[in-house]
């Protein structure tokens, strides 16, 4: 092999350590990538692919970006899912030998700290998952989970147990939406069975070792045991947290000072929301365009700070089960709804508060710049105003005590920092005069020296009597005194000749050289001292970090309360009454999103809902487009809003806390990961039946729709019977369906009730009233909907004719089984209360115990029996 250049060798040595990253290698003013990295970078970033010689005979591909533009390019690669390592020059070039280089940072989607790359209104989580079980069969009975947000210092861990562990993990994934997940590589290789679309990074298995993890964490937090964090009995949670710490150490290359604590949490203290429910209820983004606008968050978010925006997102993703905490939140919101002037003043004040949380974290990791401190100063200076405004309000007293204006910090920054410091520390002007004697002295000396030099020309002209004497400057000789040859005889003794020109001579004096040194070195020296002073300032501010973070949290809370109060007043919401009973009574409820999206002129029709111990399952019938889905989702969303501490769109609402909200909204015909819609529907239904309790709220829309009518009807009915009769269940259920046959159910299941969405008929036209009324609908109006939807008139006419025929005579194209039953009245239909073999088989199914595949097989069997 030919001998490669030393630089190439240096590159190869670094690259070997980071085979999975695109390596940006600092060369002068550029960050260069080489070889395959260069090809990827050129392709993904539209860079010019050039070449660089690495030996006498060889060249390799190279593509680079200017050093000042690195962040933008890195951001684009991270977005595309690449990992990036940045290799810096760590010594100054000295003309001899190679500059030393080191990787100072690895950037992955979950470890980004650059504000340019992050969204400030959304958390950027890195999550670790440790499945405990058999990787070969992909079965896990336990799991350790940890997650971190390194720009805010949020760090939490938990342990999930039982057969539901895998499901709970998926629920946590959908709650946190991490941008990166790390997992033991064995599990990744064997197939991690996580939902698609997750950025998964495999990590050596040993990094998830509980013992090693515990040691790492205790060392990091400087504690003897992790019990104080509540992690005492969560070895797998600890292991996951340890893996995160390892990973961060590898990528961040600093002391991770922003991670000051870790919190153990339990998924049991929150309302359970599975991924489908979150999606179906459009909590933080819409199903179609995945935008915040059009989601619940979109309606409720009137926050003005980034911290508030992130907190509200967390609350919506994690409704509470704790009556006391919820009432405290509602008290705070209520107090703010009552004073419009106060709301306006607070909102105004909050507008001047920057992202204190991320600012403090930048301080802690040593990344804060002058402008960050400026933002800190401006934010803190608003805190006393906020304190004064909220102090008189008892419901906000918890916030008042947590708000700390950190006047010492404010004072320190104000004394140290100029009013308009430069963005980076390589320009003079960061530190305020008067702050440091040393800096003042240097500044004074420089000023004197400049003045001295400025005065030199007139001074020397006077002294020597040479009227044409000039003081000049050039790069080679520095400052000089120039005298034309005509006045040569008047040169004083202390002039030293430096240069001879055609008509003149140039001189220097020892004193001039002294002042010159002062002036020329001044800038460098001032920059150095300013940098030192700035670093010391940041260091000392770090001591206040926990107070700063406390204030940040209090402000985030205030911002969220304010947002909820503002929306409540603007949209006419009421304070819900929360109880531990399993009632649910809503008067004149509305869907908070749909009511805002209606075309101008159309008014949203409010509806009542009433569940009590005798009314548990509501069957909602009505034609398509009448508003069934909207109505049942409205009940779910109102409940969820109440459990984050928000007012709700209704005239009044009494809500028994819901431990699990399950919303299956039908009519989504997409195929999930190779499964048929029906299969997905059945898997979800199985999950809901096994996971729900008496305190759950089930919202089922057209369950059974994904299959043929008879199958669908059979399943729908079986599901309702099961919920009604199972002692663990009997939960509040809203079941929207277009199967009119189901309206018979209240006759046999006493705790079911029929409701329908009213329509008015006007000759052949129908008008949707969107009003939910007691009693079942008796017609489907599908043909009317076809007409409204713009089907050609002849088709609609023909359909109407056929419908009439069907309704009066039955149809020739009827399902063979139904036909057979009609022809043979002795054999009762599926929905008579007889012991038809299919019904018998159906009743004997232990739905809870079926795997999805078994469920499907059973269905085929049922279908066969029903056709007999
Ligand atoms: P369904 O589930 O019965 O097919 P949807 O719930 O999808 O009907 O409602 C259809 C449309 O009717 C909605 O997009 C909305 O525009 C309108 N709508 C529904 N409920 C109401 C209401 N209570 N007031 C006003 N318009 C409504």
In this structure, the residue with its CA closest to atom 26 of ligand 1 is: 604
Q: What percent of the chain has pLDDT over 70?
A: 92
pLDDT of residue 2: 66
Tens of pLDDT along 821-838?
444 444 334 444 456 777
Q: Is the dihedral of CA 62, 65, 67, 72 positive or negative?
A: negative
Residue 808's pLDDT is 64
pLDDT tens figures, 219-278: 999 988 888 888 888 999 999 999 999 999 988 877 788 888 899 998 888 998 888 889
- Look at ligand 1, atom 5, and give the residue with the nearest C-alpha: 627
For 460-474, how does the pLDDT look when each residue is reduced to its tens digit (9 = 90+)? 999 999 999 999 998
Which of 2-16, 55-69, 723-737, 847-861 bottoms out in mean pLDDT, i.e. has the lowest? 847-861
- Determine which of 308-312, 508-512, 620-624 has the lowest per-residue pLDDT on average: 620-624
Ligand 1 atom with the smallest distance to the CA of 623 is 3
Question: Which residue is it, tokens 């000295």?
Answer: 94
List the single range of 28-32, 50-54, 643-647, 760-764 with lowest mean pLDDT.
Answer: 760-764
Given this model, what pLDDT does residue 302 score? Answer: 97
How remote is the CA of residue 37 from the centroid of ligand 1, in Å?
53
Of all protein residues, the one whose alpha carbon is nearest to atom 16 of ligand 1 is 598
Q: How does pLDDT run across 144-161, given as a tens digit for each residue?
A: 999 999 888 899 999 998
The alpha-carbon radius of gyration of the chain (Å, integer) is 36
Distance CA 307, CA 303 (A): 9
From ligand 1's centre to the CA of 710, what distance in Å?
27
Tell how far CA 281 is from the center of its chain: 18
What local confidence, expressed as pLDDT, does residue 137 receive?
A: 83
Mean pLDDT score, 737-766: 85
Q: Which residue's CA is the closest to the ligand 1 atom numbered 13? A: 627
pLDDT of residue 709: 67
- Residue 314 confidence (pLDDT): 94
Residue 184 tokens, joined: 């033991």
Q: How far is CA 737 from CA 289, 619, 625, 669, 716, in A?
A: 27, 7, 12, 16, 9
Mean pLDDT of 815-819: 47
Centroid of ligand 1 to alpha carbon of 621 (angstroms): 13
Q: Is 57 exposed, middle or buried (0-12, 13-18, 19+ CB in 10 A)?
A: exposed
Q: Strand 752-762 vs strand 617-621: parallel, antiparallel, or unpaired?
A: parallel
User: In 167-271, at which residue ranges do the beta strands (DSSP E only) sit?
Assistant: 180-184, 200-203, 263-264
pLDDT value at 779 more than 80: no
CA 725, 729, 732, 737 dihedral sign is negative
Q: Give residue 639 CA to ligand 1 midpoint distance, Å.
A: 19
The 10s digit of each residue's pLDDT in 372-418 is: 999 999 999 999 999 999 999 999 999 999 999 999 999 999 999 99
Probe target for ligand 1 pocket from 621, 766, 770, 781, with the most ligand atoms within 8 Å of CB? 770
pLDDT, residue 548, reads: 94
Contact 349, 386 (CB under 8 A): yes
Q: Residue 543: name the closest of 260, 262, 307, 352 by CA.
A: 260
Taking the centre of ligand 1 as the mean of its atom positions, its distance from the CA of residue 460, in whole angstroms, is: 92
For residue 630, the ligand 1 atom closest to its alpha carbon is 6
Instruction: Give residue ranges with CB within 6 A of ligand 1.
Output: 594, 598, 604-605, 622, 624-630, 770
Alpha-carbon distance of 295 to 290, in angstroms, equals 9
What backbone phi and psi angles, to 5 degrees, belong to 616?
-110, -35
Give the C-alpha separation, 687 to 685, whole Å.
Answer: 5
User: So what's the pLDDT on residue 476?
Assistant: 83
CA 672 to centroid of ligand 1, rounded, Å: 26
> 626 CA to middle of ligand 1, Å?
6
Phi, psi torsion values for 87, nearest 5 degrees: -105, 120
Taking the complete model, does pTM exceed 0.85, yes or no?
Answer: no
* Pick from 524, 521, 539: nearest CA to 428: 524
Which atom of ligand 1 is closest in space to residue 757's alpha carbon?
3
- Tens of pLDDT, residue by residue over 301-324, are 999 999 999 999 999 999 999 999
Count of CA atoms in the C-beta half-sphere (13 A) of 414? 11
> For position 816, what pLDDT does the model report?
47
Q: Are 263 and 297 in contact (CB under 8 A)?
A: no
DSSP of 765-791: EEEEEEEEEES------HHHHHHHTT-
pLDDT confidence band for 786 (50 / 70 / 90): low
Q: Find the 717 Cα to ligand 1 centroid distance in Å.
A: 25
pLDDT of 314-356, one tens digit each?
999 999 999 999 999 999 999 999 999 999 999 999 999 999 9
- Cβ atoms of 586 and 641 within 8 Å: the answer is no
Average pLDDT, the chain: 87
> What separation in Å is there between the alpha carbon of 311 and the centre of ligand 1?
31
The answer to whether the beta carbons of residues 546 and 409 sit under 8 Å apart is no
Q: Give the model confidence (pLDDT) of 681-718 as tens digits.
A: 777 777 778 778 889 999 998 776 656 667 778 888 88
Q: Residue 602's CB: how many other CB atoms inside 10 A?
A: 10
pLDDT band at 121 (very low <50, low <70, confident <90, very high): confident
Above 70 in pLDDT, residue 635? yes
How far does the centroid of ligand 1 lie from the alpha carbon of residue 772, in Å? 11
pLDDT in tens, 583-603: 999 999 999 999 998 877 788
- Among 286, 594, 620, residue to substitute to test ligand 1 (most atoms within 8 Å of Cβ): 594
pLDDT at 649: 98
**CA of 720 relative to ligand 1 center, distance in Å:** 24
Q: Give the residue whose CA is nearest to atom 6 of ligand 1.
A: 627
Pocket test for ligand 1, best of 627, 650, 736, 781 (most atoms within 8 A of CB): 627
| Spatial separation of the C-alpha atoms in residues 316 and 278, rounded to whole Å | 10
pLDDT for the residue 247? 95
Q: Nearest residue CA, atom 18 of ligand 1?
A: 627
């Amino acid at each position: 092999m030919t001998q490669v250049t030393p630089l190439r060798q240096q590159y190869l040595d670094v690259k070997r350590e980071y085979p999975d990253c695109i390596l940006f290698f600092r060369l002068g003013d550029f960050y260069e990538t080489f070889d395959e990295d260069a090809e990827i970078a050129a392709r993904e970033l539209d860079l010019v692919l050039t070449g660089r010689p690495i030996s006498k005979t060889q060249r390799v591909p190279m593509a680079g970006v200017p050093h000042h533009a690195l962040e933008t390019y890195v951001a684009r690669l991270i977005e595309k899912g690449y990992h990036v390592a940045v290799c810096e020059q760590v010594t100054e070039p000295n003309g001899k030998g190679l500059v030393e280089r080191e990787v100072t940072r690895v950037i992955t989607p979950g470890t980004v700290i650059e504000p340019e790359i992050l969204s400030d209104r959304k958390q950027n989580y890195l999550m670790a998952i440790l499945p405990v079980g058999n990787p070969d069969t992909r079965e896990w009975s336990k799991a350790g989970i940890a997650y971190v947000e390194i720009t805010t210092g949020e760090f939490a861990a938990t342990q999930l147990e039982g057969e539901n562990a895998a499901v709970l993990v998926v629920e946590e994934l959908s709650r946190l939406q991490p941008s990166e997940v790390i997992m033991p590589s064995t599990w990744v290789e064997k197939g991690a069975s996580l939902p698609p679309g997750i950025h998964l990074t495999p990590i050596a298995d040993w990094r998830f070792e509980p013992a090693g993890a515990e040691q790492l964490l205790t060392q990091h937090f400087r504690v003897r045991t992790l019990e104080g964090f509540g992690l005492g009995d969560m070895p797998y949670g600890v292991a996951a947290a340890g893996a995160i710490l390892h990973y961060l150490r590898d990528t961040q290359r600093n002391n991770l000072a922003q991670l000051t604590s870790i919190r153990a949490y339990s998924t049991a203290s929150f309302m359970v929301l599975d991924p489908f429910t979150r999606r179906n209820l459009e909590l933080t983004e819409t199903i179609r365009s995945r935008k915040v606008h059009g989601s619940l968050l979109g309606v409720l978010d009137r926050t003005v700070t980034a911290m508030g925006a992130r907190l509200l997102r967390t609350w919506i993703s994690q409704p509470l089960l704790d009556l006391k905490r919820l009432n405290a939140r509602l008290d705070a919101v209520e107090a703010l709804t009552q004073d419009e002037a106060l709301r306006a003043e607070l909102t105004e004040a909050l507008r001047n508060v920057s992202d204190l949380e991320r600012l403090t974290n930048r301080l802690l990791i040593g990344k804060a710049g002058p402008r960050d401190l400026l933002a800190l100063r401006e934010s803190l200076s608003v805190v006393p105003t906020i304190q004064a405004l909220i102090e008189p309000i008892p419901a906000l007293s918890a916030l008042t005590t947590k708000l700390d204006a950190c006047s010492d910090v404010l004072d320190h920054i104000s004394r140290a920092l100029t009013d308009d410091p430069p963005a980076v520390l390589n320009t003079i002007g960061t530190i305020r005069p008067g702050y440091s004697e040393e800096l003042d002295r240097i500044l004074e000396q420089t000023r004197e020296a400049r003045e001295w030099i400025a005065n030199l020309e007139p001074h020397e002209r006077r002294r020597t009597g040479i009227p044409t004497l000039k003081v000049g400057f050039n790069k080679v000789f520095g400052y000089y005194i120039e005298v034309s040859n005509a006045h040569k005889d008047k040169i004083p003794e202390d002039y030293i000749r430096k240069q001879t020109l055609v008509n003149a001579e140039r001189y220097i004096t020892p004193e001039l050289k002294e002042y010159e040194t002062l002036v020329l070195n001044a800038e460098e020296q001032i920059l150095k001292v300013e940098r030192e002073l700035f670093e010391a300032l940041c260091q000392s501010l770090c001591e206040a970090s926990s107070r700063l973070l406390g204030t940040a949290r209090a402000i985030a809370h205030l911002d969220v309360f304010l947002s909820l109060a503002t929306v409540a007043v603007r949209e006419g919401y009421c304070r819900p009454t929360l109880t531990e009973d399993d009632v649910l009574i809503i008067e004149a409820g509305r869907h908070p999103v749909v009511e805002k999206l209606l075309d101008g002129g159309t008014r949203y029709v409010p509806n009542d809902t009433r569940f009590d111990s005798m009314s548990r399952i509501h069957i909602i019938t009505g034609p398509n487009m009448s508003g069934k889905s909207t109505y049942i989702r409205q009940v779910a969303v109102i409940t969820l809003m109440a459990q984050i501490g928000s007012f709700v769109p209704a005239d009044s609402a009494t809500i028994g806390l819901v431990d699990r909200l399950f919303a299956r909204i039908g009519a989504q015909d997409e195929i999930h990961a190779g499964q048929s819609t029906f299969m997905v529907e059945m898997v979800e239904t199985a999950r809901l039946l096994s996971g729900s309790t008496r305190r759950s709220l089930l919202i089922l829309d057209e369950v059974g729709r994904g299959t043929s009518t008879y199958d669908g009807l059979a399943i729908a009915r079986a599901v309702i019977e099961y919920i009604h009769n199972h002692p663990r269940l009997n939960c509040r259920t809203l079941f929207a369906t277009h199967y009119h046959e189901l309206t018979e159910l209240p006759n046999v299941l006493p705790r079911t009730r029929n409701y329908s969405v009213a329509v008015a008929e006007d000759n052949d036209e129908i008008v949707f009233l969107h009003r939910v009324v007691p009693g079942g609908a008796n017609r489907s109006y599908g043909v009317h909907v076809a007409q409204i939807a713009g089907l050609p008139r002849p088709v609609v006419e023909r359909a109407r004719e056929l419908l009439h025929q069907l309704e009066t005579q039955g149809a020739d194209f009827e399902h063979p089984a139904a036909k057979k039953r009609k022809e043979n009245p002795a054999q009762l239909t599926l929905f008579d209360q007889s012991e038809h073999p299919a019904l018998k088989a159906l009743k004997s199914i232990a739905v809870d115990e079926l795997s999805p595949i078994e469920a499907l097989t059973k269905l085929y069997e049922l279908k066969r029996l029903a056709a007999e």
